[in-house]
Amino acid sequence: MANEHDLLRGIEDIPDPAAHLAARPPPALAEGPAEGPAEPSLTRPARERRALSATLAGLAWILLFSWGEGLRDDLGSPRVLVPLAVVAVLSGLGLLLALRPRARGLPASVRAIQALAVAVPVGFLAAAVVRSGVADPPVPLELHLRCVASALCTALVPFALAALVLRRSFLSAPAWRGAAIGSLCGLGVVVGLEAHCAPDDLRPVAAPPGPPIGAGALLGAAAGALRGRA
Amino acid sequence: MDEPALNAAMDRYACGDARAFPELHRALSARLLAYLTRMCGSETLAGDLTQETFLRMHRARSTFARGGAVAPWAYAIARNAYLDHARAQKHRNTERLPSDPGAEPPDAHGADGEAVAIASETARAVERVLLCLPASQREAFILLRYEGLSVQDAAAVLGTTATAVKLRAFRAYEALRAALEELKRRPEAERGAGRSVENRSVEKGMEKGDRPAAARPERSGRRGKGQAGVRGGADGE
């Protein structure tokens, strides 16, 4: 049985069933369409402006919502500020990694995107386990649920904006790309959440911020699969 | 039009210059038509999908990266158009009519005629085998062999790794080479009857769970002479 190295040597021997089409001379300019489709579509500058506006609007929403919930008293302390800054930077870098085009303008490889989509929730959970213990007495269920609701409301607008801006953006693997971007947006939401929520219990640390990341991944995958493909 | 000029035209179109569209259409339409014909097995359907591809390129033009390469980008969009069509076909489960009748047989008189007939039969055999391959292998092979994309570009188009692309293309190549060797071994007199043997091996492939695109004939919008011998329907993934 031939091995994989034979591929390059022998592949040219396979004839082309559609050679007659590929060999056709290109149509004269006069024969083709005189201009593009009549349907309006965004240009690149317009899209860049839209993406910037959406990013600023999403950040503003997170900050406003957090401020409305009441910022925690110890927000300025290094113990709180440094982890939040690290999470914010990681979220931004992750989005850059997921969205920035690579060589020849092509998107990031599927492996990189899959790694990102898995690393964000797993990494967050691991960090939560390391940072916190279990509170005694336990935090009441009502507070848990309130924190989860607050987290989801914080995440709502950034997710919607991301879905709008990234519609029809993905050349391949749209579900994975949507999942990676959704979980990274969720990570950004965690910054806002922990700016006003000061639990010292593993369950609230993992649970309320968990939904934005988990929901972001799931909703992002669904949005990517349904509307993300170019 | 060479690649840098084509990329520059797409760049202009992405920035809103509508005059660049005819240049893009002229440079890419034949290539995309050939690619989609190889994918779906029908020139008629490929024509529709090519138009759909240009419409999608128009809608997605803002996502074309500054300084990017338009060929792999366009192929990826064409592939998406094909996949969406294949999935819609699967869901609709539409009744199909016989496909395009195919090209007229070449004039077999004389040595040149015989060579042409053999080449034509070989090409049809390749087409049949291609359409019986799993879609993942077929598209990897087509992109590398016929469209001339690099392994990295093909991996980006297909949304997979370079290793997976090489492996899929290699498996397709093995199947095609086996079919061509079988064709060469078969004496001329049996070639007519042998076509039914090949169809049986195609059916055997179907029993093993393969999803041949040629399993069902396809509704054809036009029938006429001179169309290439391309038959078959869309294949869902």
Q: How far is A120 from chain B (nearest CA, A)?
A: 21
Considering only CB atoms, which chain B residues are within 8 Å of A21?
30, 33-34, 37, 43, 228
Query: Rounded to whole angstroms, how far apart are CA atoms B210 and A78?
Result: 60
Which amino acid, residue B29? S
Whether chain B has a CB inside 8 Å of the CB on A142: the answer is no
Considering only CB atoms, which chain B residues are within 8 Å of A22?
30-31, 34, 146
Please answer yes or no on whether A36 and B156 come within 8 Å at the CB atom.
no
pLDDT at position A156 is: 85
Whether chain B has a CB inside 8 Å of the CB on A39: the answer is yes
- Residue A166 has φ and ψ, to the nearest 5°, of -95, 10
pLDDT of B15 > 80? The answer is yes
Mean pLDDT of B31-53: 92
Query: Rounded to whole angstroms, how far apart are CA atoms A142 and B73?
Result: 51
ipTM of this complex prediction, to 2 decimal places: 0.83
Please answer yes or no on whether A168 and B66 come within 8 Å at the CB atom.
no
The more confident residue out of B13 and B236 is B13
pLDDT at position A211 is: 75
Q: Can you list the alpha helix ranges (DSSP code H) found in chain A?
A: 6-10, 19-22, 44-69, 78-99, 110-131, 141-165, 174-196, 202-206, 210-227
Q: Please state which of the four CATH numbers 1.10.1740.10, 1.20.120.1690, 1.10.3720.10, 1.20.140.10 is assigned to the domain occupying B1-97.
A: 1.10.1740.10
Residue span(s) of chain B under CATH 1.10.1740.10 come to 1-97
> Tokens 């090409």 label which residue?
B123
Beta carbons within 8 Å of A136's beta carbon, 6+ residues apart: none
Specify burial of residue A195 (Cβ count, 10 A radius: 0-12, 13-18, 19+). Answer: buried
The more confident residue out of A197 and B51 is B51
Q: CB–CB of B84/A229 below 8 Å?
A: yes
Give DSSP secondary structure letters for A169-222: -BSS-HHHHHHHHHHHHHHHHHHHHHHH----SHHHHHTTTHHHHHHHHHHHHH
Query: Rounded to whole angstroms, how far apart are CA atoms B33 and B75?
Result: 10
Q: Is the peptide bond before A45 cis (omega within 30 degrees of 0)?
A: no
B163-202 residue pLDDT tens = 999 999 999 999 999 988 888 887 655 555 555 545 554 5
Whether chain B has a CB inside 8 Å of the CB on A14: the answer is yes
> From residue B198, how far is each of B98, B169, B201 by CA, in Å?
20, 22, 5
State percent of chain A over pLDDT 90: 33
State percent of chain B over pLDDT 70: 70
The more confident residue out of B82 and A66 is B82
pLDDT at position A23 is: 64
Whether chain B has a CB inside 8 Å of the CB on A111: the answer is yes
Please answer yes or no on whether B156 and A171 come within 8 Å at the CB atom.
yes
pLDDT of B144 > 90? The answer is yes
A190-228 residue pLDDT tens = 887 777 776 555 454 556 667 788 888 999 999 999 989
Mean pLDDT of B137-149: 93
What dotted CATH number matches B106-208? 1.10.10.10
Whether chain B has a CB inside 8 Å of the CB on A47: the answer is yes
**pLDDT winner (highest mean) among A28-42, A190-204, B30-44:** B30-44
CB atoms within 10 A of CB B185: 9
A105, closest residue in chain B (CA to CA): B68
Considering only CB atoms, which chain B residues are within 8 Å of A104?
68-69, 72, 153
Q: How far is B97 from chain A (nearest CA, A)?
A: 22
Q: In chain A, what is the straight-line distance between the N-terminal and C-terminal CA atoms, in Å?
A: 40
pLDDT at position A22 is: 62
The closest CB to that of B62, out of A20, A43, A106, belongs to A43
Residue span(s) of chain B under CATH 1.10.10.10 come to 106-208
Mean pLDDT of A172-182: 94
B112-137 residue pLDDT tens = 777 778 778 888 888 888 888 999 99
pLDDT of A172 > 80? The answer is yes
The closest CB to that of A37, out of B16, B58, B127, belongs to B58
> Tokens 């519609």 label which residue?
A167
Counting one residue from A and one from B, how many pairs have CB atoms under 8 Å apart? 181
Question: Across chain A, which distance is largest between two alpha carbons, in Å?
Answer: 80
* Four-CA torsion A45, A50, A51, A54, nearest 10 degrees: 160
Please answer yes or no on whether B155 and A14 come within 8 Å at the CB atom.
no
B194-230 residue pLDDT tens = 555 455 545 444 444 444 444 443 343 343 343 333 3
pLDDT of B236 > 50? The answer is no
Question: pLDDT averaged over chain A?
Answer: 81
Q: How far is A89 from chain B (nearest CA, A)?
A: 24
Please answer yes or no on whether A46 and B62 come within 8 Å at the CB atom.
yes
